[in-house]
Chains A and B, each alone.
Chain A
Amino acid sequence: MIKRFLYSQKVAPYVFVLPFILVFLIFWVYPLGSSVTMSFQKITLGQETEWIGLDNYTKLLGDKIFLKSVMNSAVYMLCTLLILIPLPMLLAVLINNKFMWGREFFKSSLFFPALTSVVVAGTVFRLMFGEMDGSLINSFLGWFGIEPVKFLKGQVTGFIALLALATWRWLGVNMLYFLSGLKSIPDDYYEAASIDGASAWQKFRMITMPLLKPTTIYVLTISIYAGLAMFIESLMLWNGNNSPKNIGLTIVGYLYRQGIEKSNLGYAAAVGIVLLVLAMTINMIQLAFSGLFKKED
């Protein structure tokens, strides 16, 4: 009986996907469901939870700090897209080039930052971008006669530090995605193009870019999500969740502040739902535009 069950071709596939389904249900669907219910509740330490309808959401709309955090996350996401897609693509093409010197070295050294923990990297960047005259960046600026900058106290300068950290950390990862995409492009195309007299730029524009499109869409999708969900980088860079004038506060940072720091779990759940809706909407639009949902011919 057991044997028949195990060897049954109908049952086996379900057994194989069961672990994933279980994980998905327990760690994804259930928390999501309870987040949705919590976002309509007021939850206080040691007290009965109270149903308050849409109050959390209406409060969110008028919450200046929440809007600030949405703004910060959105700007951060856009900036990372502008930096972390073209740059890694370019580097990947360079490294993939047979005439490139020290390919393996550059490949691994560019990837290395991804292996460091964000905690250490964030702390190092905080010290590098410190406001003292003696901090790394400021002493560097000093050689050019530029006055010390209070990097982590200004909106623009703070974001420069944040983006520098993101670029340093994720450049190598995205580059690897593109490298693997490049490997799957047959050399024949380039050869044929060369025979037809195409320039390097034309080859990149007409062969590499279109054939890398699946990779680009993938990188774009995860970058949108990662950009909107960024939290630890900001937490470490400002040594806590409270950056001056909230210049580094992200949506997740605000969720953390409300839910964990202020134990306002209902409100925090509403923040989380808004983040989910936001990320889903942007990604769906993006995927629709890139033609992912179109039936293949």
Chain B
Amino acid sequence: MKKKGIVSLMLLSLLLSLLTACGNSSSTNASGEQSVIDAGAGEGATELSYWTFVELHGKHFEKMLEKWNAENPDRQIKLNVTVMPYDDMHNKLSIALQTGTGAPDIADIELGKFPDFLKGTPQLEPLNDVIDPYRDTIVKSRIDIYSKDGQNYGIPTHVGASVAFYNTEILEEAGVDYTKIETWDDFKKAGEQVYEKTGKYMGTADTSAAWQESMMLAQQGSDFTDADGNPQVNTPEMVKGLQILKDLQDANVISTIAGGQPDTEEAYGEYNSGNYATAFMPLWMMSRFTNYMPDLAGKIAIAPIPVIEKGMPRSVGGGGTGTVVTKTAKDVQLAKDFLAYAKLSEEANVEIWNTLGFDPVNMKVWDMKEVTHNPENEFVKYFKNNPFDVLNEIRDEIKYVKSVPASPTINNVFCTVTLNEIFEDGRDIKEALDDAQAQIEQELQ
């Protein structure tokens, strides 16, 4: 008996020391995971550094770098990729750019943070000259969101068309046909049926992301900001959109989710165990399904988002990553040329779909059946229907929400305070929005 006690004590101390060991290693991880991609580069290759917050983006660059190095033997590149958590990477990049030392040559900046990097004189290289050759082939608005005063500072990754992801297993159990859902009224009826029959929620009421509000505004031709870029978050359109969502919540059709929105670790778990039937998200959510929700393979169908009234646009571009070249880059021209090649060329756009499962900004790819319907593609395999069938159906309806200097502040106020007040505390929508407007204006002073 005594021996057992000693053994368990030893085990306990071992466990605790492991825990502290983890603690140490994770604090070093905060400075990022580094890897150098050679991709067949020779001796004279230039080493460029690249920061990102999405590990997969590095994989895409790896593929494109191999092609680049093979095609440009005299301008070969070694890419030093550092992956950091979202907030850390943006904060570090911001400090590095402000102080003028320590910034990488190439970096990913998420759309939500991009306006912060355009404040004052951007410490980024304008990319107009390398974008020009591809300008006609890519969606213009995706370049515009990373621009200031006619200068393009970021190269887009995807369109990010918002779609609905339906868990057909739950819907079938409840006897709901998702293809018949066109308006929010249809969605409500279907949702009530799902809740009644299965006790599960049809969808989420997001509190930590504003995708749903973007969708509602885009359908009504409105925006978070007015034509001059001033915040306008208490408009009748916003009130109406939120009222529809609140009404859905009151009818037990949608409910708040752990993590606050579908694109969080907690929510992946909830979806994977089949507790929610729908996610309204930009198309890049596909890669989250394949990576984090393996149990749902073959069960998820993609469809256009319901609208308030038939005929309204059914999608909005959501999120995005602009890849930039910093002013302190070692070889600015090389970095720019490679970046354009790796993200804008037709091959690159095909790879962006193949590797990342994003809707590429070169819309020609959307029509390449052999690429989009390739039965070997992991995304084609995972989903019940082909994403591009839906994308091509809504391709002319994809609206955009402006990204202006006020956007990060608006987003911050909405995702920390306003949406929580409305969906968690049941606060009056108009009051909450008026407060949000005042708060945003005060912060922007």
Whole-angstrom distance between the Cβ of B418 and the nearest chain A Cβ: 9
What is the bound-complex CA distance between A262 and B405, given in angstroms? 11
Q: How far is the CB of B126 from chain A (nearest CB, A)?
A: 14
In the complex, B129 has a CB within 8 A of chain A: no
A243 vs B258: C-alpha distance in the bound complex, in angstroms? Answer: 13
Stretch in contact with the other chain, from A28-36, A39-47, A75-83, A177-185: A39-47
Q: Is the CB of A112 within 8 A of B16?
A: yes
A116 lies within 8 A of B19 (CB): yes
Does B376 make an interface contact (CB < 8 A)?
no
The answer to whether B91 touches A260, judged by C-beta atoms less than 8 angstroms apart, is yes
User: Cβ of A131 and Cβ of B258 under 8 Å apart?
Assistant: yes
Known: A63-B442, A119-B26, A120-B23. Is A130-B266 also a contact (CB below 8 A)? yes
Inter-subunit contact B121/A260 (CB<8 Å): no
Nearest B-chain residue to A246, judged by Cβ: B416
Q: Are A244 and B30 in contact (CB under 8 A)?
A: no
Binds A, one of B92-100, B181-189, B221-229: B92-100
When the two chains form their complex, are residues B417 and A45 in contact, meaning their CB atoms are under 8 A apart? no
Interchain CB contact under 8 A, B416 and A150: no
Assembled-state Cα–Cα distance A59/B30 (Å): 33
Pair A47/B424 contact, Cβ less than 8 Å: no
| B270 interface hit (Cβ, 8 Å) | yes
The answer, yes or no, to whether B101 is at the interface (CB within 8 Å) is: no
Q: Find out whether the CB atom of A245 lies under 8 angstroms from the CB atom of B417.
A: yes
How many residues of chain A are within 8 Å of chain B by beta carbon? 34
A107-120 vs B, Cβ < 8 Å mask (1 yes, 0 no):
00000100111011
> Is A69 located at the chain interface by the 8 A CB criterion?
no
- Check A64 for interface membership: any CB of B closer than 8 A: yes
Min distance, Cβ B242 to any Cβ of chain A, angstroms = 17
B40 at the interface (CB under 8 A from A): no
A203 is an interface residue with CB less than 8 A from chain B = no
**Bound complex: CA of A3 vs CA of B87, how far in Å?**
55
Task: For the complex, give the distance between the alpha carbons of A153 and B425 in Å.
Answer: 10
Q: Are B98 and A45 in contact (CB under 8 A)?
A: yes
CB pair B207–A244 under 8 Å, yes or no, is yes
Residues of chain A contacted by B412 (CB below 8 angstroms): 242
B120 at the interface (CB under 8 A from A): yes
Write out the residue numbers on chain A whose beta carbons fall within 8 Å of the beta carbon of B87. Answer: 240-241, 261
Contact flag A115-B20 (CB < 8 Å), given A44-B120, A244-B207:
yes
Q: How far is the CA of A131 from the CA of B421 in the complex (A)?
A: 17
B415 interfacial contact with A, CB 8 Å: yes
The minimal Cβ–Cβ distance linking B306 to chain A, given in whole angstroms, is: 27
Residue of A nearest to B19 (CB): A116
Q: Which residue, B24, B26, B258, B260, has most C-beta atoms of chain A within 10 A?
A: B258
B424's partner among A105, A117, A153, A265 (CB-CB below 8 A) is A153
CB distance from A119 to the nearest CB of B (A): 5
Q: Contacts A112-B16, A117-B24 known; A46 to B120 CB distance under 8 Å?
A: yes
Indicate which residue in B91, B97, B270, B443 contacts A45 across the interface (CB closer than 8 Å): B97
| In the complex, residue of chain A having the shortest beta-carbon distance to the beta carbon of B85 | A240
List the A residue with the shortest CB-CB distance to B118. A45
**How does the 8 Å CB contact mask read for A93-108 relative to B, with 1 for contact and 0 for none?**
0000000000001000
**A19 lies within 8 A of chain B by Cβ:** no
Residues of chain A with a CB closer than 8 A to B179's CB: none
Cross-chain contact B439 with A64 (CB below 8 angstroms): yes
**A65 to chain B: which residues have CB within 8 Å?**
439, 443
- Chain B residue at minimum C-beta to C-beta distance from A265: B98
Q: Which A40-77 residues sit within 8 Å CB-CB of chain B?
A: 44-47, 59, 62-65
Instruction: Report the minimum CB–CB distance from B123 to chain A (whole Å).
Output: 5
- Report B-chain residues with C-beta under 8 Å of the C-beta of A219: none
Q: In the complex the two chains form, is A120's CB within 8 Å of B260's CB?
A: no
Residues of B within 8 A of A63 (CB): 442-443
Least CB separation from A260: chain B residue = B91
Q: What is the bound-complex CA distance between A261 and B445, given in angstroms?
A: 17
Bound complex: CA A244 to CA B19 (Å): 29
Residues from chain B with Cβ under 8 Å of A59 in the complex: 445
Contact B266 A132 (CB under 8 A): yes
A37 part of interface (Cβ distance < 8 Å) = no
Chain B residues near A242 (CB, 8 Å)?
208, 412, 415-416
A268 smallest CB distance to B (angstroms): 12
Q: How far is the CA of A262 from the CA of B207 in the complex (A)?
A: 21
Per-residue CB contact flags for chain B residues 84-115 toward chain A (1 = under 8 Å, else 0) read 00010011001101100000000000000000
Closest chain-A Cβ to B328's Cβ sits at a distance in Å of 12
Question: Inside 8 A of A45's CB, which chain B residues have their CB?
Answer: 94, 97-98, 117, 119-123
A119 to B420, CA, bound (A): 26
B91 pairs with A117, CB closer than 8 A: no
Q: How far is the CA of A117 from the CA of B28 in the complex (A)?
A: 11
CA distance A105 to B10 in the complex (A): 12
A-side contacts of B98, CB under 8 Å: 45-46, 263, 265
CB neighbours (8 Å) of B421 from chain A are 245
The answer for the CA separation of A33 and B286 in the assembled complex, in Å, is: 51
Q: A63-B442, A261-B91 are in contact. Are A244 and B208 (CB under 8 A)?
A: yes
Write the nearest CB–CB distance from A216 to chain B, whole angstroms.
29
Which chain B residues (1-60) contact chain A, with CB distance < 8 Å?
A: 9, 16, 19-20, 22-24, 26-27, 30
Taking CB as reference atom, which chain B residue is nearest A64? B439
Is the CB–CB distance between A263 and B94 below 8 Å? yes
Q: Which residues of A contact B91 (CB under 8 A)?
A: 260-261
Bound-state CA distance A150–B415 (Å) is 17
Q: Can you list 14 A-B pairs, Cβ within 8 angstroms, ordered by A?
A: A45-B94, A46-B97, A46-B121, A116-B20, A117-B20, A117-B23, A130-B266, A132-B266, A241-B87, A242-B208, A243-B416, A245-B416, A245-B420, A263-B119
Of all A-B residue pairs in the complex, the 5 with the closest CB atoms, nearest first, are: A117-B23, A46-B121, A47-B120, A44-B120, A244-B420
Residues of B within 8 A of A (CB): 9, 16, 19-20, 22-24, 26-27, 30, 87, 90-91, 94-95, 97-98, 116-117, 119-123, 207-208, 258, 260, 266, 269-270, 408, 412, 415-417, 420-421, 424, 439, 442-443, 445
Chain A contacts to B: CB under 8 angstroms:
44-47, 59, 62-65, 105, 112, 115-117, 119-121, 130-132, 150, 153, 240-246, 260-263, 265
Contacts A64-B442, A105-B9, A262-B408 known; 17 new A-B pairs at CB < 8 A: A45-B97, A45-B119, A46-B121, A47-B120, A59-B445, A115-B20, A120-B22, A132-B266, A150-B424, A245-B416, A245-B421, A246-B417, A260-B95, A261-B90, A261-B91, A263-B116, A263-B119
